Amino acid sequence: MDNILIKAEKINKIYRLPAEEIKAVQDLDLQIRSGEFIAIMGPSGSGKTTLLDILGCLDSISNGRLEVLGKDVSRLKEHSLVALRRKNIGFVFQDFLLIPTLTALENVELPLLFSRMPCERERSISLLKKLGLAQRINHLPKEMSGGERQRVAIARALVTNPKILFADEPTGNLDTKSGEQIFRILKELNQKENLTVVLTTHNSKFGSQAKRIVYLKDGRIVCREDSCLYA
């Protein structure tokens, strides 16, 4: 098998509202290879989140063809799609989305429960330690800072050992220092562990450190250079 993890061909996403049709993603072609670190950039409303959700199998396309890990996702039944996502894909969101009543450790273990994977507590604990959270393992989200919460969310996304990590504005709700720390962690996971990372960001300082930038405007890719100039 070649090392292409995701192949999108002429994909479209159209939101049909009562008064209008919104073309959030338009005729978009994209291939993502194993080991890439891609930043999706572009103005607000340009389709970054929609594209990320589609590539991560959280949302469906209106038409076109999308292959994820060799599977044509439009042909998959819901349960197969869920299994593909749970086994292979990790997600990190801007607002962390931790369960407020669960501790850091319990939040990290949750995907193992859903995926019916063995709950190896040591693995979850060592992930939290690796992310600098040894002192926060039994803390609730409200007892942690934003940067700490996002590190718990990263541990949660990694606990199933995914092939791809998607992160939608992972630093968007953080102060500069915590944002830099989160970005550095994602970069290290890519460089040291060869984890494929695809993130969206408004921050050109972070974007420019990605191996590849995909710049969107009105749902279309307007620039896909290794480094490109953007507004």
Ligand X SMILES: Nc1ncnc2c1ncn2[C@@H]1O[C@H](COP(=O)(O)OP(=O)(O)OP(=O)(O)O)[C@@H](O)[C@H]1O
**Binding interface with ligand X (CB under 6 A):** 15, 17, 22, 24, 42, 44-50
- Strand 71-72 vs strand 63-68: parallel, antiparallel, or unpaired? antiparallel
Nearer to ligand X, 35 or 172 (CB): 172
The CB-of-168 to Mg ion minimum distance in angstroms stands at: 6
Backbone angles phi, psi at 211, to 5 degrees: -75, -25
**CA distances to 59, 83, 179 from 73, in Å:** 11, 12, 33
With CB cut-offs between 5 and 8 Å by kind, which of ligand X, Mg ion, none does residue 114 bind? none
Place of tokens 């819901």: 78
Distance CA 172, CA 156 (A): 19
The CB-of-51 to ligand X minimum distance in angstroms stands at: 7
With CB cut-offs between 5 and 8 Å by kind, which of Mg ion, ligand X, none does residue 111 bind? none
Distance CA 42, CA 133 (A): 33
The CB-of-58 to Mg ion minimum distance in angstroms stands at: 13
Closest to 227 (Cα-Cα) out of 202, 205, 199: 205
With CB cut-offs between 5 and 8 Å by kind, which of ligand X, Mg ion, none does residue 172 bind? none
Distance CA 109, CA 99 (A): 11
Residues 6+ apart with CB under 8 A from 142: 100
**How many angstroms from the chain centroid is the CA of residue 83?**
17
Which of the stretches 16-24, 44-52, 72-80, 217-225 binds Mg ion when contact is defined by CB under 5 A? 44-52
Nearer to Mg ion, 49 or 196 (CB): 49
Nearer to Mg ion, 202 or 224 (CB): 202
Structure tokens at 197: 């990372």
Q: Among 49, 103, 150, 171, which residue sits at the site for Mg ion (rule: CB under 5 A)?
A: 49
The CB-of-54 to Mg ion minimum distance in angstroms stands at: 13
Check: CB of residue 89 under 8 Å from CB of residue 57: yes
Nearer to Mg ion, 123 or 219 (CB): 219
Nearer to ligand X, 49 or 181 (CB): 49
Nearer to ligand X, 44 or 116 (CB): 44
Which of the stretches 40-48, 58-66, 75-83, 212-220 binds Mg ion when contact is defined by CB under 5 A? 40-48
Query: What is the dihedral angle through the alpha carbons of 147, 186, 206, 176, rounded to the nearest 10 degrees?
Result: 10
With CB cut-offs between 5 and 8 Å by kind, which of ligand X, Mg ion, none does residue 47 bind? ligand X
What residues make contact with Mg ion under the rule CB under 5 A? 48-49
